[in-house]
């Protein structure tokens, strides 16, 4: 039985230890054959078990792929549904906003019911309201606030104006009035000048307002503009003491005080520096205080 192969030969050797030679010759072929058959069957069964394991692994992989594919499809479907709901919500919101905007624009639902004016001192409130020309029943959204502000700013005593909507139904107007800094006499009356050299009123001045004395007073006159710039740059404590602003030229401007003293200011150059030194200088004894060169002040 030597030709039976390595496995069968090993089986014969193991049986020889248990049997004598005669019995071995009679029984070995049968035992070897059975052992050989058993070995081959075992090999077949082992081979079959490996194939089945491989098949099970492949099936498990296919099932995993199917599960992953199903999960991916479900995720895509969920995302699509959520995205669709978001788009629908946005579209509905957009339509509602447009509808509300149209209602607010074309109907008097949010029309003006109150007008509040602040910053007035000498300008009558009714004059401001007349200039505003607030349309009755017009939607707040359709108000031309720029045009309204321009009309108010066009009033002689108004320097600037601001008009704001305050929803749902109020308009607020902030007025910056022109304040006089000097006046000059003219055949038609007393003209008030503001810090921009604008003649904004013809009316009696307040007792504390300084008088401008120059050859050709007027808002467009260069000497007048220089004199107004000087008095506007002077510190408040000095302005209340000035009785006259005597302007002979754009570089020769003097401030005559109510107590008889005179401040020679010069021109508009270095006005900030002059304003800083003038009050300490006025503490000295003297009648004429020349600060036209603020780094070289003289007192007489």
- Hey, CA dihedral for 48, 52, 57, 61, is it positive or negative? positive
> Which pLDDT does position 38 carry in this prediction?
46
> Which pLDDT does position 220 carry in this prediction?
95
What pTM did the predictor assign? Answer: 0.64
- Integer Cα distance of 187 and 93 in angstroms: 69
Predicted confidence pLDDT, tens digits, the chain (300 residues): 433 344 333 333 333 343 333 333 334 444 444 444 444 444 444 445 667 777 778 888 888 888 887 777 777 777 777 777 777 778 667 656 664 454 444 555 578 889 999 999 999 999 999 999 998 888 888 899 999 999 999 999 999 999 999 988 999 999 999 999 999 999 999 999 999 999 999 999 999 999 999 999 999 999 999 999 999 999 999 999 999 999 999 999 999 999 999 999 999 999 999 999 999 999 999 999 999 999 999 999
> Which pLDDT does position 95 carry in this prediction?
59
The answer for residues whose C-beta is within 8 angstroms of residue 193's C-beta and 6 or more apart is 180, 181, 182, 183, 184, 199, 200, 212, 219, 224, 228
Burial (CB < 10 A; 0-12, 13-18, 19+), residue 54, is exposed
> Which pLDDT does position 14 carry in this prediction?
37
> Which pLDDT does position 70 carry in this prediction?
79
């Amino acid at each position: 039985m030597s030709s039976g192969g390595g496995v069968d030969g090993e089986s014969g050797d193991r049986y020889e230890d248990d049997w004598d030679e005669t019995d071995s010759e009679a029984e070995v072929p049968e035992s070897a054959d059975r052992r050989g058959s058993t070995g081959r069957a075992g090999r077949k069964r082992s081979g079959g078990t490996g194939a089945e394991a491989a098949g099970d692994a492949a099936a498990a992989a296919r099932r995993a792929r199917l599960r992953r594919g199903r999960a991916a499809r479900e995720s895509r479907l969920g995302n699509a549904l959520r995205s669709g709901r978001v788009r629908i919500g946005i579209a509905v919101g957009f339509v509602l906003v447009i509808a509300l905007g149209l209602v607010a624009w074309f109907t008097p639902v949010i029309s003006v019911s109150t007008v509040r004016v602040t910053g007035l001192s000498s300008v009558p409130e009714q004059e401001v309201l007349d200039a505003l020309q607030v349309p009755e029943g017009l939607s707040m959204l359709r108000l031309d606030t720029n045009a309204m502000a321009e009309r108010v700013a066009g009033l002689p005593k108004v320097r600037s104006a601001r008009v704001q909507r305050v929803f749902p139904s109020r308009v607020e107007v902030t007025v910056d009035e022109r304040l006089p800094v000097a006046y000059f006499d003219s055949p038609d009356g007393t003209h008030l000048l503001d810090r921009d050299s604008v003649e904004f009123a013809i009316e009696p001045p307040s007792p504390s307002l300084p008088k401008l004395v120059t050859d050709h007073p007027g808002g467009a006159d260069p000497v007048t503009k220089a004199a107004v710039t000087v008095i506007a740059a002077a510190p408040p404590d000095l302005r209340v003491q000035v009785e006259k602003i005597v302007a002979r030229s754009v570089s020769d401007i003097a401030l005559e005080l109510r107590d008889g003293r005179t401040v020679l200011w010069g021109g508009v150059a270095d006005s900030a520096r002059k304003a800083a030194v003038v009050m300490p200088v006025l503490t000295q004894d003297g009648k004429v205080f020349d600060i036209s060169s603020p780094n070289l002040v003289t007192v007489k």
